[in-house]
Chain A
Amino acid sequence: MKVCNAHRQVLIQEQIVSDGKPRIGVFKYSCCAGCEFQLIFFQEHILETFEAADIIYCRMLQSGGVEEGPFDVALIEGTVTEDWQVEQLRKIRSVSKWVIPIGSCAVCGGVPAIKNTQEEYLVQNRVYADTSKITSMRAHSVDQYVPVDGYIKGCPMGERDLTEFVTSLLLGKRPEFLRYAVCVECKLKGNICVLVAYGWPCMGPVTNAGCGALCPSHDRACYGCWGPMKAANARALANRFSKLGLTPDDVYRKFTEFGEPANEWKPGQVRTWAVAQK
């Protein structure tokens, strides 16, 4: 939460639910659109949500819409990879009370930011012979460009945080998003710790909760799709992985699959990567 409490109080007194229904805009940048999908098919709550809120801009839901706002809430999906997106983002910020990135791409760079780990022109050249028309930049999360008012994390965004967000919006209260590690959820479920007991390289200790410890519950080590938890001890976990016998390359890959280099997982990304430079 980058907006201070006093400011938030003002926002809430101004009433997020201004004329009865909050106005929501949904914007999509570079991503799979899965979060928007998750939002539209908000399970059985979808029709109630439509009744309670006005989704005035969402390209997947309806053609047209009010792109210029103003919005009570702007939900941003996807990684920012083009300069027009930055410009649009600044405009959105100026006409929105809340700007909330949804899903790992918008929150921490997610999968599209893997390209930041390699040289941009190499990555582009592997895909397009003619790169003259490409204007793609390094992939960055939304909060690198504008202040945001909270994150709905997950890949796809988690239902628990989404529900919390919608109810908070309707009640005019501050949403309480989960801010602890996957480990907590794992313990609550009574799972055996796959890192300690089986020696699997589990990202759970440094990954934000919200999935309900999905992977460890399915006999698999967490691969970090929820993105970094705040104040994660990435260095300790990276050391632990090395002791388990992972190569430096493997450790590096673990910490870069869902984390742009500029975040809490940075200590796990200590080594420059020797990809065959073709």
Chain B
Amino acid sequence: MEGETALVVELDGEPFLQLRIFEPPRFFEGFLVGRKYDEVGDIVSRICGICPVSHMITAIQAVEKAAGIEVSEQTVTLRRLMCLSQIIASHLVHLYVLAMPDYYGYPGIVGMQGQLGDRVLRMLRMKEVMNRLTGIIGGRALHPVTALPGGFTAIPKPQEFAGILEELRSIREDAGRVVRDVADFAVPDFHAPCEHLALDTEERYAINTGTIVSDRGLSIAVDQYGEHFQEAEVPYAFAKKSVIAGRVIGKARVEGVSPSDRGRDARDTGTIRVGALARLNNKFDKLQERTRSIAQEVGFSPPDDNPFHNNLAQSLEVVDGIEQCIQVLESTSFEDEELFARPEAGEGGAITEAPRGLLHHWYKVDRQGVVEEANIVTPTSHNFRVIERDLKELVTRHRGLDEPKLKLLCEQLVRAYDPCFSCSVH
């Protein structure tokens, strides 16, 4: 995982557990005030080195909403491609560099070359192709430069797209192998029900636009985010915890709960989970047919409430994302267009599916397009509570295990969520 964190557990008496995130706070929301609307994307992409595109595109979409800037259909498609390619690259890195060493007893990717060398090389090659796709559209894969409010400064040439399309086709089969690699992980049979949140649209697998839905009947527009979600500070971490407002922990009184849910453990109420697993739980039917058949092969079927399966869900998204990129590139031709944006005063937010789950940006800008207020909620803030709850559950269930084994199990669980603590203390 990414960032500085400690897990504090006390088992005597009532189990006590805190995930202490002591990554130093970075105050992005504070110093964004006073910056210009067209700088925001470049600045917030520096929140995260793994998902810069998500932060950038979410911020740009939020600024456009706030400042009343319209974009073309082509811009929407290009942003979708950028986000998809980054999600795939991020998943690959997480699965092989951060998650895999745990399951094969290595301290990190170094040393894995011997036993798992071919897998690592395959991953690196796939990652390179995905980074190249981001780079073709964005200028570079890390902190892209072409995306601005209103559109893109430069549109890649047709031959660049043709080249990358060839490469994408060449890693199509490898994507299936990724799923099998991840299905080999020996994960515990651990069920931790909670509310899974994702973005959803009618026509396709939602990434950058849609409504916020949950597997327990929540369905709200992006604009309503502020009314439904609350961020709370905790004394032992610089990251904040985000929950759905009004859902009282400990009482299963939630609107829209289906009858089958009522019998569940009341403790899961109000706890939300975002990320690949949550996405698959909500919109499995929007996946490509090939992805669904691979899912069937490896025995993944939603609803799935095992957080360890987030790894598997990510690998399925790798397959699906590559298919989607190929389809988009095959069916679209891109043309040069004029970038034009004139800001108005206003406020507005956007939500996208970052690799790790729902990412929210909200801005208020004045007539000149200068930011007056900013708010950013990262996927790790959304998952913070559920990670702690699941850890507590896991530790309680495996009380008897000796310490190194328990520690490994906890690490595997936290990593399965793929948290990003650099992001969370933005």
Task: List the interface of chain A (C-beta within 8 A of B).
Answer: 29-38, 40-41, 43-44, 46-47, 50, 55, 59-64, 81-82, 85, 110-112, 114-115, 117-118, 122-130, 133-134, 136, 155-156, 211, 214-215, 217-220, 223, 225, 249-250, 253, 257, 273, 275-276
Q: Are B233 and A81 in contact (CB under 8 A)?
A: no
Task: List the interface of chain B (C-beta within 8 A of A).
Answer: 2-4, 24-31, 33-36, 39, 42-43, 46-50, 52, 93, 97, 101, 107-110, 113, 120-121, 124, 127-128, 139-140, 142-143, 145-146, 148, 153-154, 233, 235, 238, 370, 372-373, 411, 422
- Residues of B with C-beta under 8 A to A219: 146, 153-154
- Residues of B with C-beta under 8 A to A155: 46, 143
Q: Are B110 and A61 in contact (CB under 8 A)?
A: yes
Q: Are B153 and A63 in contact (CB under 8 A)?
A: no
Q: Are B108 and A61 in contact (CB under 8 A)?
A: yes
Q: Are A276 and B153 in contact (CB under 8 A)?
A: no
13 A-B pairs whose Cβ atoms sit less than 8 Å apart in the complex: A30-B26, A37-B49, A44-B124, A59-B4, A81-B26, A114-B31, A114-B35, A118-B33, A125-B30, A218-B154, A225-B42, A276-B33, A276-B34
- Residues of B with C-beta under 8 A to A156: 49, 142-143
- Residues of B with C-beta under 8 A to A55: 110
- Residues of B with C-beta under 8 A to A218: 139, 145-146, 153-154
Known contacts A127-B30, A218-B146, A275-B33; is-contact A33 B3 (Cβ 8 Å): yes
Q: Are A81 and B43 in contact (CB under 8 A)?
A: no
CB distance from B366 to the nearest CB of A (A): 9
Q: Are B24 and A29 in contact (CB under 8 A)?
A: yes
Residue from B2, B107, B124, B145 in contact with A63 in the complex, judged by beta carbons closer than 8 Å: B107
- Residues of A with C-beta under 8 A to B48: 32-34
Residue from B28, B128, B145 in contact with A215 in the complex, judged by beta carbons closer than 8 Å: B145
- Residues of B with C-beta under 8 A to A215: 139, 145
Q: Are A257 and B39 in contact (CB under 8 A)?
A: yes
Cα-based distance from A179 to B204 in the complex (angstroms): 48
CB distance from A269 to the nearest CB of B (A): 14
Known contacts A36-B49, A41-B124, A220-B154; is-contact A118 B142 (Cβ 8 Å): no
Q: Are A118 and B31 in contact (CB under 8 A)?
A: yes
- Would you list the 10 A-B pairs with minimal beta carbon distance, nearest first? A34-B49, A62-B108, A123-B30, A32-B49, A126-B30, A275-B34, A111-B46, A115-B31, A218-B154, A220-B153
Cα-based distance from A133 to B42 in the complex (angstroms): 29
Q: Are A276 and B372 in contact (CB under 8 A)?
A: yes
- Residues of A with C-beta under 8 A to B35: 114, 253, 257
Cα-based distance from A63 to B142 in the complex (angstroms): 24
Beyond the given pairs A156-B142, A253-B39, 17 more chain A to chain B contacts, judged by CB atoms under 8 angstroms and listed by A's residue number, are A35-B49, A41-B127, A44-B128, A50-B110, A60-B2, A61-B109, A64-B107, A81-B26, A111-B43, A112-B26, A127-B25, A217-B139, A218-B139, A218-B154, A219-B146, A223-B39, A225-B42
Residue from A40, A50, A214 in contact with B140 in the complex, judged by beta carbons closer than 8 Å: A214
Most buried by B among A38, A111, A134, A249: A111
Q: Are B25 and A32 in contact (CB under 8 A)?
A: no
Residue from A34, A63, A273 in contact with B108 in the complex, judged by beta carbons closer than 8 Å: A63
Cα-based distance from A253 to B36 in the complex (angstroms): 8
Q: Are A136 and B27 in contact (CB under 8 A)?
A: yes
Chain B, residue nearest A30 (CB): B24
Q: Are A220 and B46 in contact (CB under 8 A)?
A: no
Q: Are B49 and A124 in contact (CB under 8 A)?
A: no
Cα-based distance from A48 to B271 in the complex (angstroms): 45
Cα-based distance from A129 to B30 in the complex (angstroms): 12
Q: Are B422 and A134 in contact (CB under 8 A)?
A: no
- Residues of B with C-beta under 8 A to A59: 4
Q: Are B25 and A128 in contact (CB under 8 A)?
A: yes
CB distance from A276 to the nearest CB of B (A): 7
